[in-house]
Chains A and B, each alone.
Chain A
Amino acid sequence: MKSTTAAPHREEIKPPVTEIGVIGWIRANLFNGWFNSLLTLAVLYLLWLIVPGTVKWAFIDSVWLTGSEECRATDGACWSVISANIRFILFGFYPHDLQWRPLLAMGLLVALLFYSRERSRWNKMLAWSWLVGLFVMGLLLKGGLFGLTAVESANWGGLPLTLLLSVFGLTAAYPVGVVLALGRQSEMPVIKSFCVVYIELIRGVPLISLLFMSSVVFPLFLPEGVTVNKILRAQVAIILFTAAYIAEVVRGGLQGIDRGQYEAAESLGLNYFQTMRLIILPQALKIVIPPSVSILISAFKDTSLVVIIALYDLLKTTQTTLSDPKWMGYSAEAYIFVALIYFICCFAMSNYSRKLEKELDTDR
């Protein structure tokens, strides 16, 4: 490296000691001014009130792998409510001795997701692996082939159901949303008005009402004898709902693209689909990564609303456990556990989106 300073042997001047290191940091950030000092002291006092008690409750006085009698005897947290009911919380009414199957399916899903996180691995092979993987997961859950005992989808529940609804829901909703956003920008009035009406209609009703409609109203329109699986109906409702929100976010991204980009693409002779796929969408979708992820995260959490149509997702199995007289009253522990699972998933999503954003940043 070339030095641009005039004096080559000038001594390096170090910053004054008080501005670096721990003390410097504390001074600069916590005690700069009487108001901030007061605030810091107040917060410290609050922490002092809360933290020791919480630690005592959660770790010192707590019981972990016991029956419910021991729980009654202690003042601390009863984590046993989870360990004793873990299989029901995670798998619901799935036959007890077949629960390795949903476990394996989830393992496969996580492995595939984990492997797919590097963009450099996105190729045809991976797409095929996903297809095969999804087929295997479905087979594991449903059974009925290759000597696997068939399991009614009415018995599916817990975490696999939550993951099923959200992974499929989100991956299907995204492309649908993109198509809706493009449709809304279309110059063809029929397509445009269909998309506008659809988006506004769906955004105008709560997800709960869509779920109700899918489970109560929709079957009324089917010819007699035809039934559509309840999970599938909920799944479609989630997809349709999320897609409308995705569409609006993507539309925002599309509006952020300079007209010159369209013109440059068109003047090369690219057709509409090529222009969109190669030039416009890659840029527009990049802009909307943060709001898209917000939508995906909230959609993921919203899958818990399927309880109202009596599907046993993770939250519902937890509730059911807590309604057992033996374990009644330990809802704090159980819900903390469920919250933790949700948090891990959501945090992974938002972390990943940040990584993706950084990788796609080609502006400098």
Chain B
Amino acid sequence: MQAETISDTHPIIEIEEMHKWFGDFHVLKNINLTVHRGERIVICGPSGSGKSTLIRCINRLEEHQRGRIVVDGIELTKDLKNIEKVRTEVGMVFQHFNLFPHLTVLENLTLGPIWVRKTPKREAEETARYFLEKVRISEQALKYPGQLSGGQQQRVAIARSLCMKPNVMLFDEPTSALDPEMVKEVLDVMISLAREGMTMIVVSHEMGFAKSVAHRVMFMDDGEIIEENEPEAFFTNPQNDRTKLFLSQIL
């Protein structure tokens, strides 16, 4: 996959000199990140380094205090309308799936399109079935999330985001709450999504996944992006000592 051609297109996410604090605690320090359409970025780093907080800032689940975040031309400010608009454009997949347990799989998928995008119910259901097919669980449409395995739930969660037809997908450690035998089925879905050119930012320690789909891999530590590179170079020839230490621990 060629990163060169992609950087010509205009950026879909621009983060400039962004800082965030939790109280007195400086979680994110001077983050600068530009993501182009169709680009796929994998972020890794030790626990507590601020990876989740960073991607949660992109759809304003967390508020940043300094700097700018612009998503698809919309700057994230206190303006609720803008925030809601950005959120419809940005899909998010969580570590713990966060499916709505009181709704069936199908209802989980159609909720956003029907209430946010005002899609007619029939059409929303068609789209939902299409994406369920895509994540290969169409036969579970009428079940409740509690009746599915972790891997199936995470695939439903991915389909739920896709039903909103997002321009960007954020993944926060989508496989780390799964039993090992279910990791692959979720990664496969993500890989096929990548093949179709979806813009993705993935927090993950799945190095195989990073190598096969990422344009860039970033290493975060202590609230900063310490190092970034193409996957090949990143894994074989890390520059920073902290990156080296981290990679030696997880590989």
Binding site for B on A (CB under 8 A): 258, 260-261, 263-271, 274, 278-279, 282-283, 286, 360, 362-364
Contact = CB atoms under 8 A, between A and B. Distances in A.
Contact of A271 (B84, B91, B96, B111): B84
Nearest to B143: A362
B240 interface: no
A364 B147 contact: yes
Interface of B: 59, 61, 80, 84-85, 87-88, 90-92, 94, 96, 98-102, 111-112, 115-116, 144, 146-147, 157, 160-161, 164
B112 A258 contact: no
Given A266-B61, A271-B84, A360 B102 contact: yes
B105 to A, nearest CB: 11
Contacts of A270: 111-112, 115-116
Contacts of B96: 260
Given A268-B161, A363-B144, 15 more contacts: A260-B94, A263-B61, A264-B98, A264-B157, A267-B90, A267-B161, A268-B111, A270-B116, A271-B84, A278-B111, A279-B100, A282-B102, A283-B100, A283-B101, A283-B102
Contacts of A267: 59, 61, 87, 90-92, 161
Contacts of A269: 84-85, 87-88, 112, 116, 164
A278 to B, nearest CB: 6
Contacts of A268: 87-88, 111-112, 116, 160-161, 164
A268 to B, nearest CB: 4
Contacts, number: 67
Contacts of A362: 101-102, 144, 146
Given A278-B111, A278-B115, A364 B146 contact: yes
B38 to A, nearest CB: 21
Contacts of B100: 261, 264-265, 279, 283
B199 to A, nearest CB: 16
A364 B145 CA distance: 9
B186 to A, nearest CB: 17
Given A268-B111, A364-B147, A260 B87 contact: no
A129 B155 CA distance: 43
B167 to A, nearest CB: 13
Contacts of A274: 115-116
A363 B146 contact: yes
Given A269-B116, A270-B115, A270-B116, A264 B99 contact: yes
A169 to B, nearest CB: 28
A278 B103 CA distance: 10
Contact of B87 (A261, A266, A282): A266
Contacts of B99: 264
7 contacts: A260-B96, A260-B98, A263-B94, A268-B116, A269-B88, A283-B100, A362-B102
